[in-house]
Amino acid sequence: MAKQIKAKRPARSLLTEEVSPSEAIVRVLEQAGIDMVFGIPGGNTGALFNALYDHKRSIRAVLVREESRAGVMAEVYGRLTGKPGVAIAQAAFMVHASLGAIEAHLSSSPMLILTDLSDHAPFSLHGPYQSGVGEYGSWDAKQTFSGMTKLTLVATSGTHAVQCTQMAIKHALTGERGPVAVLYHSQSLRGRIGPNSRPPLYTTDAFLPGPPPAADTAEVESAARLLLQAERPVIIAGNGVRISHAYTELATLAELLGAPVATTAGGKGTFAETHDLALVTC
């Protein structure tokens, strides 16, 4: 029998009219299902907040008192929703978001750090104080953020800024999930982009992961037989329970087997510690 090939949906253009790069970036966030961002305007990121103001009915921008709070809030958002938590602020101060980014790395929480290089094109190589382009007399923002993320991207044009944002969402959600940073060069947030821009821009759905594959029935049955044959089964629940939101399934399995449950540091909270089967660890 010939193997059936599932037809792919045709690619759809992201834009039907010319808009600012910041407007296109916010539309990308919308298409990814992100309904909340955290941060504080600064440097060139003010353009992103201006665009967010026009989308306040679909994306709530939570202003913070200090950038580290944005990092922590974004990590928690990603951990609880499974969608990338977004932290936005000027690069020199967004470094404070390392608290949330490192936790996102350790906990496999999807997270986006959207920031700038604090440069002023066309004089980026002669940038002011706080410029992070990595040239003489400035600090290297890309190298700094690379130490706390899965991937750090530097956008150099309007279309590149949109594509980097889409790629950041993809990498934050696929493989082992985690934090990804996008550093916007000042030139990338200027001008207008549209349906005729090159390279062409497409909707974000192609960058989002599909549903996880179903478990192999034979392997599930084999594991069930082993569990039923165990004399004193104990369950050690880890961060995988949190990532898959399998809290109810964990409790059901423990009660069915009568198996006590211990949790790893990453699995804390996945099983009620007041449950009769909870093993309290010191």
pLDDT digits (tens, 9 = 90+) for 215-272: 889 998 898 899 888 889 999 999 889 888 899 999 999 999 999 999 998 888 899 9
Q: Quick one: CA dihedral 246, 177, 163, 161, positive or negative? A: positive
Tokens of 16: 């039907």
| Residue closest to 233 by CA, chosen among 261, 268, 252, 274 | 261
Q: Quick one: CA dihedral 222, 223, 228, 232, positive or negative? A: positive
Report the alpha-carbon distance of residue 234 to residue 138 in Å, rounded: 55
Range(s) within the chain of domains with CATH label 3.40.50.1220 = 213-282
| CB atoms closer than 10 angstroms to residue 118 | 26
**CATH superfamily, region 21-207:** Thiamin diphosphate (ThDP)-binding fold, Pyr/PP domains (3.40.50.970)
Query: Quick one: average pLDDT of 145-169?
Result: 97
Report the alpha-carbon distance of residue 67 to residue 63 in Å, rounded: 10
User: Which residue type does 20 have?
Assistant: S
136 falls in which pLDDT band (50, 70, 90)? Answer: confident
Beta-bridge partners for 88: 39, 114
What mean pLDDT, rounded, does the chain reach? 91
| Residue closest to 134 by CA, chosen among 151, 150, 152 | 152
Report the alpha-carbon distance of residue 120 to residue 188 in Å, rounded: 11
Q: 3-state DSSP call for residue 151?
A: strand
Query: Quick one: average pLDDT of 135-151?
Result: 92
Range(s) within the chain of domains with CATH label 3.40.50.970 = 21-207
User: Quick check: 184 and 145 in contact, CB under 8 A?
Assistant: no
What is the reported pLDDT for 156? 95
Those residues whose C-beta lies under 8 Å from the C-beta of residue 93, and which sit 6 or more positions away, are 40, 42, 67
User: Quick check: 231 and 257 in contact, CB under 8 A?
Assistant: no
What is the reported pLDDT for 282? 54
Q: Is 202 exposed, middle or buried (0-12, 13-18, 19+ CB in 10 A)?
A: middle
Query: Does 114 or 132 have the greater pLDDT score?
Result: 114
What is the reported pLDDT for 245? 86
- The dotted CATH code for 213-282 is 3.40.50.1220
User: Which residue type does 255 have?
Assistant: E
Using the structure block, give the residue that is written with the tokens 């996880």: 212
50 membership: H or E segment, kind and range: helix 46-53
Question: Is 150's pLDDT higher than 60?
Answer: yes
141 membership: H or E segment, kind and range: helix 141-146
Question: Is 5's pLDDT higher than 50?
Answer: no
Query: Does 213 or 173 have the greater pLDDT score?
Result: 173
What is the reported pLDDT for 9? 64
Those residues whose C-beta lies under 8 Å from the C-beta of residue 204, and which sit 6 or more positions away, are 14, 28, 31, 32, 166, 169
Question: Is 62's pLDDT higher than 90?
Answer: yes
Q: 3-state DSSP call for residue 236?
A: strand
Question: Is 165's pLDDT higher than 80?
Answer: yes
Query: Does 34 or 266 have the greater pLDDT score?
Result: 34
